[in-house]
Structure 1
């Protein structure tokens, strides 16, 4: 995307539960932080094994409604190399999905992270607080890439977002809280004063 726009792509397995939650919660987080200027940050989602054209899982839609976030109009899609190339930042639910994305688009290595991983890295860099929101996100990704080698390693699986599929609604609520906490770190890295 051009520098005055920033595309965030959230990827999970089927593009029914976690990535739709992240897409819609990210939209809310950026809208709350930047108002109309947030339109320059585009949020989208896809799945490594999606059934194209499916609706959002009812658990994710219910939790979004509880948060006051519109779940309407969502349609699942399968991630492709072209979708990955068009994104400025790819945030996956799990490391396996990150690996699948990099198999499709090896050139995405410096813009693909798990959501939790990117949130950890973003919280560790100096805040990027000047300029338009999209430009701040571009600079944040550059800062994260410049310093990611300094981050201490974490245990395997710690950066993975648990899948709530086939679980009670409480698992979807926990997933949404986890996503929201990660998004607070990301948005905080470009709004802190």
Structure 2
């Protein structure tokens, strides 16, 4: 861990939820799409993946309501091709940043891989921290900029708080309605776009 301290030519981002069939795949797919939209060819420096802390046996694809929600947002191809992944320690040790859909996912990551604590945040938490950094102090290189944001977030964790207690968690839509899946996707989309905007040197 700690590669965010070095001059890197790549940045690996891992998103984690419970079963890797709703929230984390949505964040992975939306993050990748947003990076390509904002950064163009420079998006090649980013590797985005996702995993679940408790993937059900025999589960292979994402939840059909989540897949339908992504399809409605023009992300049908990656949603159809997505295959769920059980979180393994090597996924975490390779990552420069780990984002959990809920605080309990962050806790599960750190319990499994304690050295990941400095680079593990809630998705909404990291979006809030990244938005609080003075963009004028960041590198023009998106990859270096991403590493700088992780360092800033590590130092300022807990200093930039959510307005409402518990608001950092993205509710699990499993077992809910189409509207529940839409609301989860909306929350994830807002957070991922905010993060990518902070990474983009032309954001502000």
1:13–1:48 CA contact under 8 A, matched in 2: yes
Equivalence for 1:140: 149
Q: 1:172 and 2:178 equivalent?
A: no
Unaligned runs of 5+ in 2: none
Shift of residue 104, structure 1, vs aligned partner: 0.6
Give the structure-1-normalised TM-score. Answer: 0.93
Q: 1:68 and 2:77 equivalent?
A: no
1:89-126 CA deviation, whole Å, 9 max, x = no partner?
A: 10011111110100111000111011011111111111
Shift of residue 131, structure 1, vs aligned partner: 3.1
Distance 1:32 1:152 in 2: 29
RMSD: 1.8
Distance 1:150 1:19 in 2: 26
Unaligned runs of 5+ in 1: none
What does residue range 43-192 of structure 1 map to in structure 2 within 5 Å? 43-51=48-56, 54-69=60-75, 70=77, 71-127=79-135, 130-152=139-161, 155-191=164-200, 192=203
2:125–2:162 CA contact under 8 A, matched in 1: no
How many equivalent pairs are there?
193
Shift of residue 82, structure 1, vs aligned partner: 1.1
1:170-193 CA deviation, whole Å, 9 max, x = no partner?
A: 111111110011112211212323
1:125–1:147 CA contact under 8 A, matched in 2: no
Distance 1:171 1:104 in 2: 30
